Amino acid sequence: MKKKISLIGAGQIGGTLAHLISIKELGNVVLFDVAEGIAKGKALDIGQSTSVDGFDINLKGTNNYEDIKDSDVIIITAGVPRKPGMTRDDLLGTNLKIIKQVAEGVKKNSPNSFVICITNPLDIIVMAFQKYSGLPTNKVVGMAGILDSSRFKYFLSEELKVPVKNIECIVLGGHGDTMVPMLNHTLVNGKPLNQLITKDKLDDLVERTRKGGAEIVKYLEKGSAFYAPAASGVEMAEAYIKNLKKTLPCAAFLNGEYNEENVYAGVPVIIGNNGVEKIVELTLDKDETKNLNISIKAVKELYKTACKIDPDLNN
């Protein structure tokens, strides 16, 4: 029985998700968008590449939430992306309203799905979705850490002329300017970073990772990154569908882990067919702990703003 993956939002990331999922044959795809034409057009276009790429899955474009019924996985990109000069936090007001609508649609039609939120400001949107929908916290997760870790690996790879596959690193905390590349947990060809790169250069690469999204927004002018975000979302969906029990940096609900509770933030989690099956607590040094707390504090502050925008979130 093929799995069913519904994509709420058929824009730049949604369309790329649909294409990647099709080529990997992870499951049949429902592309949902309020702009019905975008959903239907992209579903048809990818469907017409079936014979060329040889995948055997069905795609449907729709603006009817009934079509997402009983999805195994739902990936949410519905919302507006940044324009040059905007921060991720600037999207809060608009995207909070959108995620409330999406949560209603998912709660009514597909409450047992594993839900991956991508819409920004990510940590707030994923928490708001979980609150609005009431889905269990282990089945609601945010995509950001995989993308941020991949960006940091890419910059290290360019600087050190080392293939990315020889680099282990993880970026935790909020998906914003306070995100925390865990430098003591970064290895290049099995060696710690401090033997390979000066502190100044490392600081530059950390800053470039934090601003990785804005750098692409500046180039694109209209819209933001979508290939790497989509690839990151697919890795999470695949871990769930294939029960891979992979450890991945994702925005997950903290209930005491890392001395934090009642907040979503980027931490290493194990994803299998029960969703977020475990939160992995790394041993952090004083600086890492401090920086992670600062980042999570920033998430909590922005969530307070969200609660002022919509008091329903206070329940």
Catalytic site positions? 175
Residues 112, 93: contact at Cβ < 8 Å? no
Nearer to ligand TXD, 145 or 193 (CB): 145
* Residues contacting residue 235 through CB under 8 Å, at least 6 positions apart: 146, 246, 248
Nearer to ligand TXD, 23 or 34 (CB): 34
Extract the tokens encoding 230.
């989509």
In the 8-state DSSP scheme, what is residue 142?
E
Distance CA(100)–CA(119), nearest Å, equals: 12
Which single residue brings its beta carbon nearest to ligand TXD? 11
Q: Cβ 86 to ligand TXD, closest distance in Å? A: 9
Torsion, Cα of 68, 73, 79, 84 (10° steps): -150
Let me know if 70 is exposed, middle or buried by CB neighbors in 10 A (0-12, 13-18, 19+): exposed
Q: Cβ 195 to ligand TXD, closest distance in Å? A: 31
> SS3 of 308, please?
helix
Site of interaction with ligand TXD (CB under 6 A): 8-14, 33-35, 38, 77-82, 91, 95, 98, 101-102, 118-120, 122, 143-144, 147, 175, 213, 223-226, 229
Q: Cβ 38 to ligand TXD, closest distance in Å? A: 5
Nearer to ligand TXD, 35 or 199 (CB): 35
Nearer to ligand TXD, 89 or 238 (CB): 89
